[in-house]
A and B are shown apart, each in its own frame.
Chain A
Amino acid sequence: MTQGMLLRQITDHANRADPYPLYAELRKTPVSQQGDALFVVSTYWEIKSLLHDPRISSDARNLSPQAAGALPQQEEETTALPPAFLKLDPPEHDRLRRMTMHPFGPPHTPRRVHNMHGELARIVSDLIDGFGDRDQVDLVDNFSYPFPVTVICRLLGIPREDEARFHSWADTIAASLDPDPDQDPGERLRVTQQARTELGMYLSGLIDERRGAPGDDMLSALVTDHGPDGQMTPIEVLSTAALLLIAGHETTVNLITNGMLTLLRNPDVLKRLRDEPRLAVPLVEELLRFEPPVQLLPQRTTLADIDIAGTTIPKGASVWLVLASGNRDPQRFLDPDRFDPDRKDNQHLGFGSGIHNCFGAPLARLEAQLALTELARRLDNPRLLEDPPPYRQNAVLRGPRHLNIAFDGFRA
């Protein structure tokens, strides 16, 4: 099979449920050229090294015209927001990320995530209570989807009464990341744009409010903080908030859903988690290796010719880093296709690495740990109704669209 065909197979929805044999095939050529200006990197050490390589840019403006043309048409954010730091290089990236980190994590706000523990646990248990007297649910719609959106609302300081509106914008925008071949693209673009615009207007209203009367939420901090880097402009606050919303959301849904799916396929581990909740920590790490919610990073380009693994990636090429493949590289992980929560030395690529490594990782970890522990504890005899479940279209943010499960009732 040629490498070019492989990539097409990976993006083909028919293979979404189990892309791992294709990744194994891909790893036979650690760095492979696919078409004129696209290079796919599939092995652990090569991905790791490129993630730390300052000759790699995240800014699409550095793509050669040829590479830019060859890229699958990405739906660009059509609101006039400047790119968030995810799509920028240092020093702008560093500055914006630092300013965002200031109210979120160490060293300035080391306890923000930790302090959300109680609140997250309440949201989780409310959602499970919300299953009512059903003995069968779609875990995606009823749990893994609403959970992160509610969390991001609390984090940003979206008032409770606005959460419902916020949820529906978030859903629409998230859905747009997940191309659906059956839907009319023009119509979808229109709906998405409208949601973006409404969300943007809503957020700018809220930002103005917070400037006048700050609370202890992140949005207030972003508009009032005066760190060594100065203050974010209103438009920067807006694009950052939008980034937090989208990135902190689509990914966690998949982490939790993939997690429950994997647990249901490994009932011994599910049982262990019920008996020893502390297993949640290494378990989530192993999930991030085994079924990473972000399967590949398609947004990198080269600033210079780079020689790697016997291949020269020319300047201006588009580089795809297949994190999920690196995570299953037998050169790096023993018995990589085995799900093993006791795995030692688990330096997976689930959150990426280098300067763009996942900003929300501490929150995502905590969300997944709490969600899975509580599902394991509360649901009596849970089981899969469909295996494999139906998957989303998206090959990058990969996860089930539905996860129908049955159970015999609830434990206290």
Chain B
Amino acid sequence: MASDGFLEWMRREGRIVIVGASLAGLRAAETLREEGFTGSLTLIGDEPYEPYDRPPLSKQVLLGKATADRTALPRRMALDANWRLGVAATGLDMAAKRVRLADGDEVEYDRLLIATGVHARPWPHEAEADLDGVFVLRTRDDSAGLHRRLMAAPRRVLVIGAGFTGSEIASACRERGLPVTVAERAAAPLVGALGGVVGQAAAELQREHGVDLRCGIMVTGLEGDSAGRLRSAHLSDGTTIDADVAVVSLGATRNTAWLAESGLGAGPRGIACDAGCRAFDVRGIVTDDIFVAGDVARSPHALFGYQFLSLEHWGNAVAQAEIAAHNMISASSDRRPHLWVPAFWSSQFGVSIKSVGVPSLGEEVLIAQGSLAERRFTGVYGYQGRVIAAVTFDQTKWLEFYQRQIETAAPFPPAFPTVDRRPEGLRPVPADFPDPSLPTHGPSVTLSGYSPTDRRITFTPARA
């Protein structure tokens, strides 16, 4: 069959299956229909809910300004699709082109999109994680449960981990007037994402709002009472904190366990794909019929030295889903690369934080506008003499400019004057990121066999 004949048939009556019925899954499905796909479309999701939006879960929902069951994602169109909600995909047979489901069913596909996202990394001690009052925050149910508990006026909330989600939770608690302690292993909040210089500003912001912020510290154990309710937490400096709610915000792990042994290049750090969202198999060979999008994907970005980036950004999930959907039903010459410049937003303690580019690649940071002390500034990150990222605290409107600086590999530090340049913005300083603990991401493989025709790969994913 001529390949464009296949494509014709595929667009008209092919079968497309999407695993992961959330932001990326929904937007991909809509894009497929918008671009004229008329075949059968199946969305598989392990949550019982129609696709909903997660960013409000750590913000408006915890403040009672929205309820967790009212965060359904707006639909761009009426979608003609088979929804398989409340059932997880448990396996993939790449040769037979089949997805296995938890209820024993199997679904065949001609093209598959994997958009299974991530899940919150749980508290490592299972018994302690099971205590009443210990939460993670990823899903609608998590958020509803936590909100209910915050309504019950706990004596103190402990947030473990001061990344974006943890910081937003702490902010919501303070806005509700609840005493909150934040324990963070690094020297400041948001250090992993934005570095120590900006992290210090975030630390002051938290303290100003009455957060009991403890940095450079680890929670070593959670302790419950005889009824199994959380009572206190022990810290690595020997102190103990009384708290009846603890929210574990230690980052996320990719939902790829169901792909183990499928032969797909999928590990705890995600599924590697090419710039067109086509997944790699464990041999490093790109697949023709399996695509990935959203938080679960790891894709090379031309602007950042073709590094494989895994992003947990709302905007990335949408953009990547649209590209994946387009490419699934397009001839190779019509495929488009996913060239989205990473961008992220957060709001906490009344401040709107936004970033573009990849701050964590930055070696140095320059406060190009505004001032750290006023918590209103634009920080520009430099990497090997070029602008690689920017972050704003309450200065969103300048971000577009710096995005263009990143896109055009503009020199760093910027040589030109700008409005609102302060003395502190005259010289860049080290951005102060912690040493990356692992030099490279991703699954590792071992090789066996001696002749070229005989060489085999064994897949041994590293732990996340």
Contacts and interface: CB of A to CB of B under 8 A. Distances in A.
Given A49-B404, A54-B368, A91-B370, A354 B416 contact: no
Contact of A355 (B350, B397, B404): B397
A303 B416 contact: yes
B400 A90 contact: no
Interface string B343-376: 0000000100000000000000000111000001
Interface string B415-448: 0111110000000000000000000000000000
Contacts of A48: 400
A355 B370 CA distance: 14
B6 interface: no
A94 interface: yes
Contacts of A54: 368-369, 378, 398, 401, 418-420
Nearest to A303: B417
Interface in B391-424: 397-398, 400-401, 404, 416-420
A187 B262 CA distance: 87
A54 B378 CA distance: 11
B369 A304 contact: no
Interface string A165-190: 00000000000000000000000000
A321 to B, nearest CB: 15
B376 A52 contact: no
B400 A52 contact: yes
Contacts of A305: 416
Interface in A33-58: 48-49, 52-57
Interface residues of A, number: 18
A328 B397 CA distance: 24
A164 to B, nearest CB: 40
B400 A55 contact: no
A305 B404 CA distance: 17
Contact of B370 (A52, A90, A107, A304): A90
B370 A354 contact: no
Given A49-B404, A94-B376, A89 B419 contact: yes
Contacts of A53: 401
A163 B140 CA distance: 53
Nearest to B418: A54
B417 A354 contact: no
Nearest to A228: B350
Nearest to A89: B419
A91 B420 CA distance: 6
**Interface hub of B350, B370, B418 (most chain A Cβ within 10 A):** B418
Given A49-B404, A54-B369, A89 B416 contact: no
Interface string A344-384: 00000000001100000000000000000000000000000
B401 A49 contact: yes
B400 A303 contact: no
A313 to B, nearest CB: 12
Nearest to A53: B401
Contacts of A304: 416-417
A197 B378 CA distance: 40
Contacts of B369: 54, 90
Contacts of B368: 54
B420 A89 contact: yes
Interface of A: 48-49, 52-57, 89-91, 94, 107, 303-305, 354-355
15 contacts: A49-B401, A52-B401, A53-B401, A54-B378, A54-B418, A55-B418, A56-B419, A89-B419, A89-B420, A90-B369, A90-B419, A90-B420, A94-B376, A303-B419, A355-B398
Given A52-B401, A55-B416, A89-B420, 13 more contacts: A49-B400, A54-B369, A54-B378, A54-B401, A54-B420, A55-B417, A57-B419, A90-B419, A90-B420, A91-B370, A94-B376, A303-B417, A304-B417
